[in-house]
Amino acid sequence: MNLILLGAPGAGKGTQAQKLSDELGIPQVSTGDMLRKAQRDGTDMGVQAKKYMDAGELVPDEVVVGIVKERLAENDCATGFILDGFPRTVPQADALGEAGVKLDHALNIDVPQGELLGRLTGRRSCPKCGAMYHVMFTPPKAEGICDKCGTGLYQRDDDNETTVRSRLETYGAKTAPLIRYYDERGILRNVAGAGSPNEVFQASLGVLGLEG
């Protein structure tokens, strides 16, 4: 089974990708991992990507697609794969299809924006010991205080509401059109992502036609 996971920041794509990878015995392949591996292995595409990255430039779509093709041609992807982080735009999806990469399902984890805001703005960090908390899911025993060392917790700049809203707007403009793109091709599978990770996982198995 060849899958791509769709969903806004905070939807839980990474968690579900790992669960599906374990369940189906197929690799979760992320853009970042693929780029690093291609560079380590010194593939033609990896060498090209390194030139752009060393110059502080974005790696062009055609190079990333080439790296994706190289990665998906490896033995562990013979029975399927889960694409994580690519494609992010319709032109990238077009390029992937033109490169001959076939997808069976595009699983869209749909979470209401209000809950996404709560998930993404709820993270708190300890500046002293580095412990991580979440006000909704893993709160400290005493509000705003680290359980481990008693230091006051803080919210990272990229977790504040203004930054989070900007991230969600970027997703809506560039990545959300992929939902329509894959729906038009008959492979979109929607799953409600507001439940617990296990509830979302079981629902995902259902929409993919698998038994939980």
Establish whether the linkage from the previous residue to 87 is cis, with ω within 30° of 0: yes
Please answer whether residues 68 and 86 qualify as being in contact, where contact means their C-beta atoms are separated by less than 8 angstroms: yes
Banded model confidence at residue 52, pLDDT cuts 50, 70, 90: confident
- The predicted structure's pLDDT at residue 178: 95
Q: Superfamily assignment of 2-26+79-207 in CATH? A: P-loop containing nucleotide triphosphate hydrolases (3.40.50.300)
Please answer whether residues 5 and 104 qualify as being in contact, where contact means their C-beta atoms are separated by less than 8 angstroms: no
Average pLDDT over residues 190-203: 94
For residues 57-74, b (16+ Cβ closer than 10 Å) or e, as one string?
eebebebbbbbbebbbee
Q: What is the pTM of this model?
A: 0.84
- The predicted structure's pLDDT at residue 212: 53
Please answer whether residues 70 and 101 qualify as being in contact, where contact means their C-beta atoms are separated by less than 8 angstroms: no
Banded model confidence at residue 19, pLDDT cuts 50, 70, 90: very high
- The predicted structure's pLDDT at residue 85: 82
Q: Phi, psi (5° rounding) for residue 156?
A: -65, 150
Strands lying side by side in the sheet with 2-6: 28-30, 81-84, 2-6, 105-110, 188-192
Tell me the domain boundaries of the chain.
Answer: 2-26+79-207
Mean pLDDT of the chain: 92
Average pLDDT over residues 23-31: 91
- Please report, rounded to a whole number, the percentage of residues in the chain having pLDDT higher than 70: 99
Q: Phi, psi (5° rounding) for residue 149?
A: -130, 0
Structure tokens given for 157: 């700049």
- The predicted structure's pLDDT at residue 11: 92
78-82, 88-92, 129-133, 203-207, range with the lowest pLDDT: 88-92
Tell me: pLDDT of 43 over 80: yes
- Active site residue ranges: 13, 88, 123, 156, 167
3-state secondary structure of 66: helix
